[in-house]
């Protein structure tokens, strides 16, 4: 069954941790779409493209613009937001089957939507260990990757996780994105795919004191992302220093969980990790993305997951585009590529 915006809003009580939902008025969608239809490939001059998309999205209605800006600024705002009635490319080529950009895509409206929304939250950033450093990621089911805990998967539930980045200092949570933006170009055939978001505020409110104390202790090691371990460790674990999974102020907690695995260091930590996974499932907000919708995900206020769905590899499979966004590039300046200042090691 397809969920409407009203259905989604009705699934959770109104609070700072609930899903925020915005829609562009039709006239605004049409005006933004006309401007974005004139874009060349953003990859040709990324800083020019981000400036142009920022200019286009700065003309959104003031209350909508304020809501999007506040979403990226304040600790008491929701950790996940759905933006609807967005402009779409007039013609889509077949969904790429290799996780790379489609060379047959002749317009760049979806890329403009991503960069416009991302620019309201912070700075789009690329990581060389994720999609070869590209700023716009094509997230599609890939043959052979069906059961992996990666964005190539489909037939395995993608567990609740944060998007993290390997760092030789031993902390994988520091250099990662503050936000993800997911723009839906094409839904899966049967409408099975659902993105879930579990807010750390709801998670901590559902945990007992003993479990929460354990999760706030440095008793866990995160495995580096799958792309990194495949490229640099022949698939073997590359573990972080011992870290807590939950940190920060009680009212505004931060959570970090690796998709590629978490190694608990004690029996109590193992028990707490299992309880955390149970609670994530119980408090999660479901969002079935459809074309013309984008999901804004705070990567520090919560963790996200994806349901199982069935790919057909017929050119009409689910197709999302994604950006990583940081509030500032300054704190990761030591990782910047010498040839592309938005791309980092």
DSSP per-residue string spanning 274-294:
HHHHHHHHHHPEEE---TT-E
Note the pLDDT tens digit of each residue in 59-89. Answer: 999 999 999 999 999 999 999 999 999 999 9
The per-residue pLDDT for range 28-59, each reduced to its tens digit, is 999 999 999 999 999 999 999 999 999 999 99
- Report which secondary-structure segment, H or E, holds 296: strand 294-298
pLDDT of residue 278: 98
The reported pLDDT for the residue numbered 339 is: 84
Q: What is the rounded distance in angstroms from the CA atom of residue 324 to the CA atom of residue 114?
A: 10
For residues 21 and 287, give the distance between their C-alpha atoms in angstroms, rounded to a whole number: 11
**pLDDT of 184:** 99
Distance CA 288, CA 343 (A): 30
Query: Per mean pLDDT, which range of 91-95, 223-227, 274-278, 281-285 is the poorest?
Result: 223-227
The annotation status of 137 as a binding-site residue, yes or no, is no
Q: What is the mean pLDDT of residues 214-226?
A: 97
| DSSP codes of every residue in 143-173 | TT-TTSSSTT--SS-EEEEB-----TTS-SS
Task: Give the mean model confidence (pLDDT) for residues 211-240.
Answer: 95
**Distance in angstroms (rounded) separating the CA atoms of residues 289 and 184:** 6
Q: What are the structural domains, with CATH classification, of the chain?
A: 5-344 (3.60.130.10)
pLDDT reported for residue 16:
62
Per residue in 190-212, pLDDT tens? 999 999 999 999 999 999 999 99
Residue with tokens 């998670």: 203
| Mean pLDDT confidence for 282-305 | 98
pTM score, whole prediction: 0.93
CA distance 227 to 158: 15
């Amino acid at each position: 069954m397809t969920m409407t915006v009203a259905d989604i809003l009705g699934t959770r009580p109104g609070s700072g941790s609930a899903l925020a939902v915005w829609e562009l008025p039709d006239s605004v969608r049409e005006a933004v779409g006309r401007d974005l239809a004139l874009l060349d490939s953003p990859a040709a001059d990324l800083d020019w493209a981000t400036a142009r998309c920022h200019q286009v999205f700065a003309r959104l209605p003031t209350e909508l613009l304020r809501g999007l800006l506040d979403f990226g600024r304040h600790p008491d705002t929701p950790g996940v937001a759905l933006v609807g009635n967005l402009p779409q490319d007039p013609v889509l080529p077949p969904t790429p089957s290799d996780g790379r950009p489609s060379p047959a895509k002749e317009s760049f409206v979806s890329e403009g939507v991503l960069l416009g929304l991302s620019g309201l939250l912070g700075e789009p950033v690329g990581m060389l260990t994720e999609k070869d450093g590209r700023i716009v990621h094509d997230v599609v089911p890939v043959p052979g990757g069906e059961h992996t805990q990666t964005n190539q998967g489909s037939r395995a539930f993608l567990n609740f996780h944060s998007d993290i980045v390997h760092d030789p200092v031993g902390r994988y949570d520091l250099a990662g994105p503050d936000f993800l933006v997911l723009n839906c170009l094409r839904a899966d055939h049967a409408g099975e795919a659902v993105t879930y978001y579990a807010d750390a505020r709801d998670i901590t409110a559902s945990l007992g004191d003993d479990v929460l104390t354990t999760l706030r202790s440095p008793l866990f090691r995160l495995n580096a992302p799958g792309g990194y371990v495949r490229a640099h460790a022949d698939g073997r674990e590359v573990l972080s220093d011992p870290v807590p999974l939950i940190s920060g102020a009680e009212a505004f907690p931060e959570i970090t969980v690796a998709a590629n695995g978490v190694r608990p260091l004690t029996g109590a930590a193992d028990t707490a990790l299992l309880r955390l996974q149970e609670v994530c499932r119980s408090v999660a907000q479901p969002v079935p993305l459809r074309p013309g919708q984008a999901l804004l995900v705070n990567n520090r206020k919560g963790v996200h997951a994806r349901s199982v769905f069935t790919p057909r590899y017929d050119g009409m499979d689910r197709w999302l585009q994604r950006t990583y966004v940081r509030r500032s590039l300054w704190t990761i300046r030591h990782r910047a590529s010498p040839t592309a200042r938005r791309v980092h090691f």
